[in-house]
Each structure stands twice: as structure tokens, then as C-alpha cells.
Amino acid sequence: MTGVQGDRSGQVEQHRVLPVTDRLWTVPNLLSMIRLLLVPVFVWALLERQLGWAALVLVVAGASDFADGKIARRYGLTSRLGQVLDPIADRLYIAATVVGLAAVDVIGWWLVAVLFARETFIVLLYPVVRRYRLPIPEVTFIGKAATFNLLGGFPLLLLGQVDGWWTVVSLACGWALVWWGTVLYWITGLAHGWQVADMVRQRRRAGVVGG
């Protein structure tokens, strides 16, 4: 019985530790690139008041964001480029989305300020990360959930601007997802700050001085 438990424990541990490759052309990386290319398409649709198309682009972006992580973990396609490209694509998409939605009065500029304040907090950590040569923290499940909620809530807010039987339901569900995504977004930001502070303390205890 002990041997079986040991085998299962080893399998679980092996499943959790995913190899990181230097491959550039992987399906997850391609999905992240497509998400980046869709940013100007979304902006164009929004400025032209094609709210249905803009909402569809956001749905595709949210689906690709969910799919790239699943594929990377399922088929061992986690790459160093993906670890950098995926969060960049997420942040750029969220930035373009919130600014665009605020510009057409779908959301208030106060929400833009709340989300951008979180990004400013993360940016302020970069000099410390670079000084102590700290590793880039991996994208967490909570972080992906935050992005997924935001990219799921924004198209519903767009659909809520179109008159129909779905208007009230879309707005209610959209704002619920956006609020929950915003809370999770800040939780991941604060957790990132705590991780950086903890790594700095470990480096200092080890006698490593930032250069």
C-alpha cells in the first residue's frame, strides 16, 4: 500500500512540475500572438460602434486566453517566450479594452484608474526584480481566472448596450464578472509583490547584494 501511495505521490509531483522549453513556435504562443493581433481589430470595431463585432472579438480573446494555458499544461508546451508573451498579451488586451470601453461610455474612467493602478504597482516592482536578478513569477490560476473574468465580463457589458431582452441580464452578469475579476486582479498583484519581497529577503539572508 505504501508503495502505491508513493507512486501516486510521485505522479502528482511529476504532473505539477512542467518542463519549460525554448521553442518559439508552439500553439499556446500562436494563440497569444493572435490575441495581440486582435487588439487593433477590437479598437476599430469599438470606434465604428460595431458593438456586436467588438464583443465577439473579446469572446475570441477570452477563449484563446483560456485555451493557451490549458494546451501548454496538457501537452507540455510551456515555453520561456510564452511565460513572457502571455501576460503581456493579457495586459495589453485589458488595457485596450478598458480604455476603449471608457471612451464610448460603457464603463467609468474610475474603473480604468483602479485597473491601471494595479499595473503601476507591478511596474514599480520591476527595478527590484532586475536589481536582484529575480525570476519572473509564473502565471497563477488566480491570475488567469482574473483575466478570464474580465474578458468574459467586458463583452457582456457591450451586449448590454444593445437594446433587447438580454440587456438587463447581460449588464448584471457582466458587472458581476468585472467586479470579481478586478478583485482577483488586485489579489494577484499584491501576491506578486509579496513574492518579490520574500525573494529579496531570501537573497539578503544568503548574502546576495543587488547590483
pLDDT tens digits along 112-122: 999 999 989 99
Domain limits for position 30: 19-205
| pTM for the model | 0.73
pLDDT of residue 15: 40
Instruction: Give me 102's grid cell.
Output: 471608457
Kindly state whether residue 4 falls inside one of the protein's structural domains. no
CATH no. for residue 150? 1.20.120
- Per the CB < 8 A criterion, the answer to whether 149 and 97 are in contact is no
- Per the CB < 8 A criterion, the answer to whether 29 and 69 are in contact is no
Angle at the Cα of 82 from the Cα atoms of 130 and 87, rounded to 5 degrees: 65
Rounded distance between C-alpha atoms, residue 55 and residue 46, angstroms: 9
Kindly state whether residue 13 falls inside one of the protein's structural domains. no
DSSP state of 161: T
Q: What is the mean pLDDT of residues 88-104?
A: 87
Kindly state whether residue 136 falls inside one of the protein's structural domains. yes
Kindly state whether residue 2 falls inside one of the protein's structural domains. no
Kindly state whether residue 121 falls inside one of the protein's structural domains. yes
**pLDDT tens column, 71-83:** 777 766 677 666 7
User: 3-state SS string over 173-185?
Assistant: HHHHHHHHHHHHH
Kindly state whether residue 76 falls inside one of the protein's structural domains. yes
Domain count, the chain: 1
